[in-house]
Every structure is written in C-alpha cells, then in structure tokens.
Amino acid sequence: MFTGIVTDLGEILSVEKIPAGLRTRIKTAYDPAGIDIGASIACGGPCHTVTAKGEDADGTRWFEVESAAETLALTTVGAWQPGKKINLERSLAMGAELGGHLVLGHVDGTARITRRVDHDDSVYFQFEASRESAPFIAKKGSICLDGTSLTVNEADGLLFSVFLIPHTLAVTTWGERGEGDLVNLEVDMMARYAARLAEFAREA
C-alpha cells in the first residue's frame, strides 16, 4: 500500500522483453541495501515487485521489476523507454505519516490530458477518463495519477481537473506533462467500495 507521495524521480535505464512481459531496470536514489528482493515499489503508479537490485561502479543505483500482460494492457508501462523519468514511491510502513491518501498501486486504466494552463502559482490540468473510471471521480475527492496523490478540482461527465503547485511540478514528472499525454489512473478505493455497496443495496 502507498500514499501517493512521490519520494524519488526514477529513470528508465533499460527495457527487455521476457516471456511474462517486460523486465525494466530503473535508476533510483534509493539505497539498494535497504530494498529487499520481493519488496513493492510504485513505479509511475502501478505497484511492482523488485526482482533484482544493485549499484554500478560509477555509483548508479538501480532495481529491476517485471511487468505482466495485465499491467501492460491497463497502464502506460508498455511505452516505457530508456531515459524516461517516472515517479517512485516505496510501500507504506506501519506508523509512517499518511501524507496523501491510501493508494493500492492497482491502476484502473489511463486518462488523457486534454488541457494544460500554466499560472504564476499553479498549473491547471484537465483530463478525460474512461466511462468505466469516471463514475468514481468526484469533486474534492482523491485520485492517484501517475503515482501522485491529487485532489480533484472539478468533475463533469468524463472530464475532471486538478491544480498542481510548483513543488509538485519540481519533484515529479508533472512538469514535463502536456496535452495529449496518457497518465495512469487509480480511483480512490473508498469510492469503489461505496459503489459496490450501493449496487447490492439496489439489488436488495
């Protein structure tokens, strides 16, 4: 489980096709000595399991993850290329500060950026969600986009928007994002449970 508070800006070092899908090596500031094989790290939103780790002679620290067919079908992971920056977050430790909202790393799909407007003190992003995800997105609710916990500003039909402050733009990949880009979207799990309960209530 995660919080959607990005703690490192990783970089794709290599991408290799394997029978199960893709194996990706990611450059990180995390100390490999503190990462267990089998640990969970959110990479651009989707939760991945660390399968290898190391530090090269030049001091480059890295870990490897493998992405299966389901992840490749639902997320932007299939488009990863060497040099691409991605948001990283280690899994939540018991007793740690919950600075964002509870995030599972189970991406529901993608959303497309339809508009970006830069202001002096913030940047406005508008997105188009899928018909499957849109009902779970509410004004002033929480949403996780590319592994970042954000507050929904407005929601209307398939469209929703957020405002990002300069700090978020500086420490994540959001500063590079523009109109037409696809981002990984995970709706608030509480919204999913509420919808499921409402479904059973109607059937009853």
Closest CA to 169 of 103, 115, 122: 122
The confidence score (pLDDT) of residue 67 equals: 97
Residue of 49, 51, 60, 130 marked active site: 49
**172 carries an active-site annotation:** no
**48 carries an active-site annotation:** no
The confidence score (pLDDT) of residue 199 equals: 81
Phi, psi of 44 (to 5 degrees): 65, 20
Q: Residue ranges of the alpha helices (H) in 75-152? A: none
**Cα(118)–Cα(114) distance, rounded to whole angstroms?**
14
The confidence score (pLDDT) of residue 200 equals: 79
**151 carries an active-site annotation:** yes
Instruction: Find the largest Cα–Cα distance for the chain.
Output: 64
Give 203's DSSP letter: H
The confidence score (pLDDT) of residue 144 equals: 97
The confidence score (pLDDT) of residue 56 equals: 97
Closest CA to 164 of 124, 112, 114: 124
The confidence score (pLDDT) of residue 203 equals: 78
**68 carries an active-site annotation:** yes
Residue of 42, 43, 47, 134 marked active site: 47
Count of Cβ atoms closer than 10 Å to residue 103 Cβ: 26
The confidence score (pLDDT) of residue 189 equals: 87
- What SS3 class is residue 121? coil
**40 carries an active-site annotation:** yes
The confidence score (pLDDT) of residue 191 equals: 85
Helix (H), strand (E) counts: the chain:
3, 13
Average pLDDT, consecutive stretches of 10 residues, N- to C-terminus, the chain (204 residues): 94 96 98 96 98 97 97 96 97 79 93 97 97 95 96 97 96 96 95 83 78
Residue of 7, 14, 39, 106 marked active site: 106
The confidence score (pLDDT) of residue 3 equals: 93
Residue of 28, 40, 67, 148 marked active site: 40
Give 30's DSSP letter: S
- What SS3 class is residue 96? coil
DSSP assignment of 141-171 equals -EEEETTEEEE--EEETTEEEEEE-HHHHHH
Count of Cβ atoms closer than 10 Å to residue 118 Cβ: 8
**49 carries an active-site annotation:** yes
Q: What is the layout of strands, in order, in the sheet containing 109-118?
A: 148-151, 142-145, 182-187, 109-118, 123-128, 159-164, 154-156
The confidence score (pLDDT) of residue 98 equals: 74
Residue of 29, 68, 96, 195 marked active site: 68
